[in-house]
Amino acid sequence: MEIIKTQIPDLLIVKNRFFKDERGFFMEHYNKKQLAEHNIHIAFCQDNLSQSSYGVIRGLHYQLAPHAQTKLVSVIVGRVWDVAVDLRKGSPTFGQWVGIELSDDNKTHFLIPQGFAHGFSVLSETAIFSYKCDQYYNQPAERGIRFDDPALAIDWRIPTDQAIVSPKDKIHPDFAEAEMNFNFISH
């Protein structure tokens, strides 16, 4: 397992080994002990799976503390552009975001700590997105930030004016308005 830092502390790229042979490939998709060897100790409690078509954007979503979720995200089929935004008060990277391509080809995981908003755009015809969370879904604690907030200026790598988004994702406040919700303390 290789852990790669990003320009935002605690937001990490996780590369697991995978073994190819004439049948295909094998990989340990999640290994608690190997993460612990990198001093990453997360008590995941829920696995999620979603399928989306090209042009879908899901996000930007987060849950308020104490229901904020750490997410270990990956793509089982297809390609997505995955984005995490730092919402942690006092963080030197507050309001900054990192984007990464996750795909069935690169078999890469993105470890997104509590206190981040998360979203992704689908770059392939279809994408199956799989991720672990360390807090259960709590709908009353769910909040969002509009994915196309000009202040964030996220490059979703697809034409956002044609993005396929849920009705709720069309009406989230922008970052500045949502900021009053942020109740995450930077570590």
Residues with active-site annotation: 61, 131
115 counts as binding ligand T46 under rule CB under 6 A = no
Interacting residue with ligand T46 among 119, 146, 172, 184 (CB under 6 A): 119
Q: Identify the CA nearest to 124 among candidates 54, 61, 24.
A: 54
Residue 34 or 54 with smaller CB distance to ligand T46: 54
Distance between CA atoms of residues 110 and 146, nearest Å: 21
The nearer residue to ligand T46, 34 or 104, going by C-beta atoms, is 104
Spatial separation of the C-alpha atoms in residues 102 and 42, rounded to whole Å: 21
58 binds ligand T46 (CB under 6 A): yes
Q: Does 48 bind ligand T46 (CB under 6 A)?
A: yes
Residue 166 sits in the site that holds ligand T46 (CB under 6 A): yes
Judged by beta carbon, residue 34 or residue 181, the one nearer ligand T46 is: 181
As beta bridge partners, residue 77 has 128
Q: Torsion angle, CA of 72/76/77/81, rounded to 10 degrees?
A: 10
| Shortest spacing between CB 93 and ligand T46, in angstroms | 19
Nearest 5°: CA angle at 124, between 118 and 127? 55
Contact status: 137 vs ligand T46 (CB under 6 A): yes
Closest CB 155 distance from ligand T46, rounded Å = 17
Is 88 a binding residue for ligand T46 by CB under 6 A? The answer is: no
Q: What are phi and psi of 180, to 5 degrees?
A: -65, -20
Is 61 an interacting residue with respect to ligand T46 (CB under 6 A)?
yes
Cα-based angle 53, 113, 38 (whole degrees, multiple of 5): 110
The residue ranges that bind ligand T46 (CB under 6 A) are 48, 50, 58-59, 61, 71, 118-120, 137, 166
